[in-house]
Structure 1
């Protein structure tokens, strides 16, 4: 079985015009970066991988994760994690409850709390479980969003311009942390960005999509 994420001859059309075409295997711990200007179809490709592609797009090809074709699998069963440029934390939940939300169902309350505390420790936010997300800095929110996604135990990670809202110094720090955590878990990573520095830092292959 081929471990990793395979985009097998994926073609996406809109209004009978070709938008995106990609055929590539991403091995565990590797990053494939898709670059290009806004509107070129980068996020559309991610929507195809997560199973959330809007009905006005037509697509062919397959998404294969760890040897299993998940093209027709419902989005919530695909085990594909995604980070967006907005951290999307739930404002009505504490930091700890946000992280608990990422955990698979089951297990005792104490076991779940221990996992949450461990995740916070891993990203230098020990003791933050009871904090209101509104009190966090941009970098802290990004770390919580990352760990919530990793606690859901995904088999692949998608990055949709996740660093674009951070200032330069923070951007490099959060980017390094995201790649390090994902690679340590041997996740195949598919990133879309229009930022050359992000692409460079990822250290993997880069596909550039041109505007039609």
Structure 2
């Protein structure tokens, strides 16, 4: 369990002189804060700023703090923030197990056992040598989630992670994702258009553009 909080300290983002958003908020361990709003309101821009790949045409001020440390100027790879997108983005040249091994830090011992335990935890025992393309959409999403968790992030950004799933799978993945994030004590920021996603997340909801 981590004691990290993800904080946006007086964050202001503008594009071509037009204000997109002003935020001053703190996300506690295990909390999922949901950002909603119409297209163009700045939802994806906020994720890009938090993750460290904001396009240069945007002007941003303020700080991002993780566990009390200012990570605003750090490269994306050094921020300790995990990303989960609407597409699983599994590596097609790696097996299912290879995708999971990729998430593990290089120096972690017993990788094979960790991968087997991870597969069992998401109901995919015996799937390690499979090509990711042979998995169903729900199975691919579970592998993507577990790869994220194996990377030991200190916070998580969720960008419409359930939008490509059918209704039944969406409900299943909501329970799995939010349950795992809560268990791990990770502060998480969810961007979605779906009010059911926001309700399932169970945290605060901020509407941009209002």
Q: Residues 132-211 of structure 1: matches in 2 within 5 Å?
A: 132-210=131-209
Q: Residues 99-110 of structure 1: matches in 2 within 5 Å?
A: 99-108=100-109
SS class of match (1:201): helix
Contact 1:38 1:194 survives alignment (8 Å): no
Contact 2:4 2:186 survives alignment (8 Å): no
SS class of match (1:162): coil
Q: Residues 88-127 of structure 1: matches in 2 within 5 Å?
A: 88-108=89-109, 111-127=110-126
CA displacement at 1:3 relative to structure 2: 3.0
How many pairs does the alignment contain? Answer: 208
CA displacement at 1:210 relative to structure 2: 1.6
Contact 2:154 2:187 survives alignment (8 Å): yes
TM-score with structure 2 setting the length: 0.96
Matched residues in 2 for 1:188 and 1:50: separation? 14
Matched residues in 2 for 1:100 and 1:38: separation? 36
Question: Could you list the runs of 5+ residues in structure 1 that have no partner in the other structure?
Answer: none
Alpha-carbon RMSD: 1.1
Matched residues in 2 for 1:175 and 1:155: separation? 20
Matched residues in 2 for 1:166 and 1:199: separation? 16
CA displacement at 1:33 relative to structure 2: 0.3
Aligned residue in 1 for 2:128: 129
CA displacement at 1:22 relative to structure 2: 1.3
Matched residues in 2 for 1:115 and 1:38: separation? 40
Matched residues in 2 for 1:42 and 1:87: separation? 20
Matched residues in 2 for 1:125 and 1:20: separation? 41
Contact 1:81 1:156 survives alignment (8 Å): yes
CA displacement at 1:38 relative to structure 2: 2.1
CA displacement at 1:39 relative to structure 2: 2.2
Aligned residue in 1 for 2:38: 37
CA displacement at 1:163 relative to structure 2: 0.3
The one-character-per-residue Cα deviations of 1:41-73 (angstroms, maximum 9, x if unpaired) are: 111101100111000000001110011110011
Matched residues in 2 for 1:3 and 1:88: separation? 27
Question: Could you list the runs of 5+ residues in structure 2 that have no partner in the other structure?
Answer: none
